[in-house]
Structures are given as structure tokens and as C-alpha cells.
Structure 1
Amino acid sequence: MNMQNERKVELQNLCLQFRNELVDLLHSIQTGHPGGSLSCMEIVTTLYCEKMNIDPKNPKMEGRDRFVLSKGHAAPALYLVLAELGFFPKEELKTLRQINSNLQGHPCVHKTSGIELSTGPLGLGLSAGLGMALADKLKGNNAYTYVVLGDGEIQEGAVWEGALSASKFKADNLIAFLDNNGVQLDGTLEEIMPMGDLKAKWASFGWNVLDCDGHDVESISDAVDEAKKCKGKPTIIIAKTVKGKGISFMEGKNTWHGKAINDEDYRNAKAELGGAC
């Protein structure tokens, strides 16, 4: 189903709002992960605001769709969306990564409303998401589990064990997104551990493989609709993205994986995003 243009503009504007809020937040606390959060902003926003069956007033609703941020360092992007939807008060955002905060540096299921799995150590999310998806099948729930993976993360062997299992158990209610920005903490994937032909690799593990523009909300939405048509196998959507998207001096730079935003960078970032400092 093609997204109405009015709705597309609305979601794009929401992503721009979140980018501004992200820069404000990470500058104010002088910590956090800007690059990977900016990279997956459209993916997280489109899933939560357009595709998922959830209820902020009843976060544990039976039969809900579930979201697992396997690349847990992008937690700021997720927290901004959850706060916007009302899972917790926006005022809590300024406590990010502070002692005793409900908003840990990586998602914590025991502290934060709307979080389905504690993540941070990379490679955990796909297998856990598979368990959630299979549990829904056993319960007869018509629900989907979405997992967002980083492309540096898929260098982890545990990811491929989960991939094999998901295929074996025909988990067609499991939809993974690969945030394919080509950059990880210490450099590019090609420099550190090239992953080769990603489409062929995932297909060889028995997955339905789609791709999309990871910064186009309509492309993301259409890919999810297409994934839901596939029966008998899980789907991975390879979303082409840019680390640090939206801020030119951050784009494609591994140095912005977890770098604090100083005053000068903050002013320059806000000028590019069109937001007031």
C-alpha cells in the first residue's frame, strides 16, 4: 500500500524533530551515540508510528507487536520515539545515562516502559526476537516481532546461529532490519571485517531478503508490507543508511559513533537541521 503524501511528509517532519531533539539531548549530557542513532531514525520512527500494533497506555498488551533494538547503542533514537508516543514523560529524556535514571545508555527492560529486551552486547537481539516471534505463534497471536541489527553487529557469530534457527522454524512473523550504513566503531566494515554479498548471504541462510532506502519512510513502510506477504520464512530488510545522517560533518564518520557533541559542533549541527540552539 503506497503511503499518502501527507502522511509521508508528517513522518519525515517527525524524523527531523527527533534529529533536533537528539542533538539537543546528547549535547546537554555530553555523552551518548549520535552516529548510529541518526542512522536508524527513519526505521524506528516508521515502525512505531506507522506499522506496529502497540498501546503506550498498555505496554504489556497481549498480542502486541514487539521491537528489539539489537544495536542497543542507538537507544537515544528509540527513547525519543517512545517519549513522543507517551510511554514515559518527555521530561525523563534529560536524565539519559545518568545515575538512577530509567533511561540507561542501552535499553533496559527492567527500567523503561516499552522496552522488550535489554540490549547492548551486540549479537543478542535476533535470537531473542526469534523466541518472541515463536511464542506468539504458539499462543496464536497475529503479531510481528521487529529486530534492528547494525551491520557491524552481524560480524557476531551468534547472529548467524539465530538466522539459521529462524529459517528452520519458519518464523514468518519475524522481520529484521539491517541498518546498513557500512561504518562501525573503529572504521568501515570493509576495513574491519567485510561481510561480502549481504543479500546472497542472508538468502543462503533461508531468509526472504528485501531492501529499501533506510532514510525514506515510504520505502521502509512498503518493505514491511512486502515482508508480511512472505509465508514460511523470516524476512530481513537491508536498509541502506548513512551513519550520522542529516549532519554533514558526522555522515559516514566512525569517529561519531560515540563522540560527545561540543558547543561548536552543536551550533553547526543545529544550523544544518534548521533548529534553534
Structure 2
Amino acid sequence: MSPFFSNKRLIVLLVCMIILVALIGYSMSDRRALSWPEQFVTDTVGSVQSAFSRPAHFVAGFFDNISDMRNLYEENKILKSHLDEYASLQVELNDLRRRNDELEGAVDLQDDFELMDYTVRSALVIHRSPDRWNEQVGINKGAQDGIEENMAVMTSGGLIGKIDQVSQFSSSIQLLSDQDVTNRISAMVDGDDSVYGFIEGIDHETGYLQFTKIDIEAELEDGQTVSTSGLGGVFPKNLTIGEIVDYEYDEFGLTQTAYVEPSADFYHLDYVMVIERSAPTIDDDINDDSGDDES
């Protein structure tokens, strides 16, 4: 036997090389279908990968969801804090706008009063009575500032009341809505024929001021403006009070009562104006005439 064929290891090596070259050539050939060994290996590897990848993806997704929920919670807290801050700023902005409008109106009104020879003193509201039956507010001006009892008090919207008590450095205002029986203000409706009566507190059922003691034959209309009459020598004339929204006859049919929507807001009072009537009044003229007669 030839010595070449007697070397078995060399023969096995050559056969393996031939098979390897054949497999390489076969794998590099242009073909579409896989052989069954390749299919078996591919399917086996794919099944193993699928078996391990699903739990891995589930675990990874679970932790990702926890992380997302934590981030979402933190973002939600931040957004809520921003919303609370925005709401607070919006309230503050609205309050500043309201005060600014009130001050602008007060400046314009003060100029008008100065032309009518009225002395106007601005004051800051410092407290309000919590008693629903005694509607009073306090201001930071008193006798040292020239404030006296029964002076009219207004906002840029209209009349709100009168000075009730005076100390040296502060005063209290009795609002038109006060239910005190002595809280009565002479008022009128200006028209072709002036209609007179009294503002006597507020009707708590409707929230409107009560304009009472009106002549039974007086012609009233909704929307008419009610203002101070100037009679009695206490208040200046033509200080706006509000508008008539309804009216009715009294229970005895002798007079009429009108309901007046106040032009001023009694529940948002920051700045007020105290009006001193410096012009001569009708009562002053009458007293002067009486004095002349007596002399």
C-alpha cells in the first residue's frame, strides 16, 4: 500500500478541507432558499432568542414604566405649583387693576368736586365691621385731618355713606346699607319734575337700597338715577347713589317705595373720599334771612 494512503490523519484533513471549501462555495452561491441544516440552526437560535427576549423586554419595560410614572409625578407637582402661582398672580393682578381703576376714577371725581367748591379728603379703609346689621367701615383719617361727623363719603362709583364717629386719627363710616333706623339720607330723582324721598337702608332679600316716602303721584321709571338732594344741609347735592330697578306702593297706598341698585360697590372698599360741603346751603340762606329779620 502506498505510504500516502497509509497516513490516515492526512487523508482526514484533506477531506475536511475539501468539504469546507465546498461549503464556503455553496454558501456564497446566489440562492434564495436555505438548506434544512441552516433552517434548523436559524429556527433553533430564533426560538432561544425569543424565549429570552420576551421576559427581558417585559422587565425592561416594567422599570421604564416605573421611571416614566415617577417623572410624570414630579412634572405634575411642578405644573400644579405653577398653576397655583399663576392663580395667585391672576388674583393679585385683578385686585391691582380694580384698585387702579378706582384711583383713576377718584382723581377725576376729585377734580370735579374741586370745581364745585367742595373739599375732598382721600382716605384708606383700614377695617370693616363683621356685623351684618351694622354696616360700618373704618378709615385712617380723623379730626386731625379735618374729618367731622355726617360728612358724605364716596368712592369713584358713587355715595357709600357718611362719617358716623370721629377720633383724632381715624373715623368710622356708616354705610347706606346699614339697618339703623337713624340712617336716613335725603335723595331725589332728577327729571322734568324732581321726585324726593329718603334712602333708608338696604333690603336684604333683593340687595337693593330702599328709596322710601316718595309721593304717591310721582312718576317713576326703571333706570332713573337717584342722587342726594342737598336738602337738610348735611350732604352736597347731586352725589350719585344708584339707579331705580323696581318700585311699588306701600301697604297703605299713601307713598311709593323704589328699589335702587347702588352705583358703588360696598363690599370692595379700599380707598374712599370724604366730601365736605363748603358751599352755602339753602338752610344757611334761610337762617341768614331769619337772622336779618330778627335784627
Q: What is the TM-score normalised by the length of structure 2?
A: 0.23
Q: Between Structure 1 and Structure 2, which shows a larger proportion of helix residues?
A: 1
Q: Between Structure 1 and Structure 2, which shows a larger proportion of strand residues?
A: 2
Q: What is the TM-score normalised by the length of structure 1?
A: 0.24
Structure index of larger Rg: 2
